[in-house]
Amino acid sequence: SLQGDLQLKMDLHPELAQLQLDGNWSGFPFKGDLTLIKEGMDIFLGAKLDCADMSPLPLILETVGRFAGGLNLDLSSLLNIQRGAGFVRWTGRMEEDGIMDQFLELNATELNVQTMGMELDIPQSILFFTPLDDGQFDASLYANINFGSNLILQGMKLSTSLRDGNYKFSGGIKKLSTIEDLPSTELIGLTVDRIDFAKDEDGEIIHLQDVECRFSAFHYDEGIFNLYDGEVFISWLGEDRYKVEIRKANGSLPTVGLNFSNLTYSGEIALNEFPNLKSYQTLEIEEAILGEEMKVEDFTLQFKMESSQRLDVKEVSMRMNEFEFSIDPANLAIEFPDSSDGRVDLSLLS
């Protein structure tokens, strides 16, 4: 049950009314206000609810849902808010046909959430929601998110809209970084141009279908491997398998003096096996320059990775000046033993 106290203050004037709330429900402190302004035949509405401590929110929503709508919500087992403050702001205009021009803003700061085995730190997040006619809407989310100590998202934006029963999604991330338990990587300037979801017979979204995006730069292991200005296409193949394509990327491996242009990559990735790649992937590079003189063109490599220490090569081909080189099938295994320092083992597959 909900327990607490509530203080109410109201100011009434001929064309202005204000209501102020100050209370605490079961450890959930809040301050709220509601303003009504009459101009001609219209009444303009504005409301705001501030909360200094959002940690009791899941329990509050469970209790309200149980008493108000008979809903048996189990939010506490799914969502644990450790800390965080925030506010909700809503505006609208009342006329004879109803409430028009509605706008909703949700703002949270220093939010720490535990959900589905993950810990999320959200220093800042803002959600804008605009309801439209016939159940249509526009929504945009802006946030910085830390997934534990492994993944950091800076400058994330997600936008969605509903028109005539069709959803449209887009978004982007200024910078994505992986640290500590994951390989050190940076992805800069990610823009999501299109997201499609598969639906069931009732029109309900069941899983991600296709994604088209592009990025400005990708850096692996503090710049050992770099990609620039690439396009990425992801398609769902069933269960946890996805087809991934990278097109038109340029890049470099500075430690060996290698620069290349027009890289394309195509392969199948199973999430439960990643980073291992147990089906053959195809890597193609239109032109590569090694050092100051060696030029390689039309490079093709087909490979798979049974583990992070082993690369199985099926095909390799390239062109150097007038010389063409091709091995198909290559049946070559390249291994990087853990115990060695820079050692590489080559062997032929049977």
Highest mean pLDDT pick, 3-7, 75-79, 156-160 = 156-160
Segment 289-293 shows an average pLDDT of 83
pLDDT, position 115? 75
pLDDT of the residue at 72 = 60
Q: What is the pLDDT of residues 232-270, one digit of tens each?
A: 999 988 888 899 999 989 999 998 889 999 999 999 988
Q: What pLDDT score was predicted for residue 343?
A: 67
> In the predicted model, is pLDDT for residue 316 greater than 80?
yes
Q: Please tell me the pTM assigned to this model.
A: 0.74
Mean pLDDT along residues 92-121 = 85
Mean pLDDT along residues 205-215: 86
**Confidence (pLDDT) at 142:** 95
257 and 290 in contact (C-beta within 8 Å)?
A: yes
Which residues 6+ apart lie within 8 Å of 199 measured at CB? Answer: 205, 206
**pLDDT at position 305:** 86
Indicate whether 28 pLDDT > 70: yes
Q: How confident is the model at residue 212 (pLDDT cuts 50, 70, 90)?
A: very high
* List of residues 6+ apart from 281 with CB closer than 8 A: 265, 266, 267, 268, 302, 303, 304
Beta bridge partners of 145: 153
C-alpha distances in angstroms, 223 versus 95, 177, 252, 274, 311? 59, 13, 9, 22, 22
Instruction: Answer whether residue 139 shows pLDDT above 90.
Output: yes
pLDDT band, residue 328 (cuts 50/70/90): confident
On average, the pLDDT of the chain sits at: 85
Distance CA 314, CA 335 (A): 15
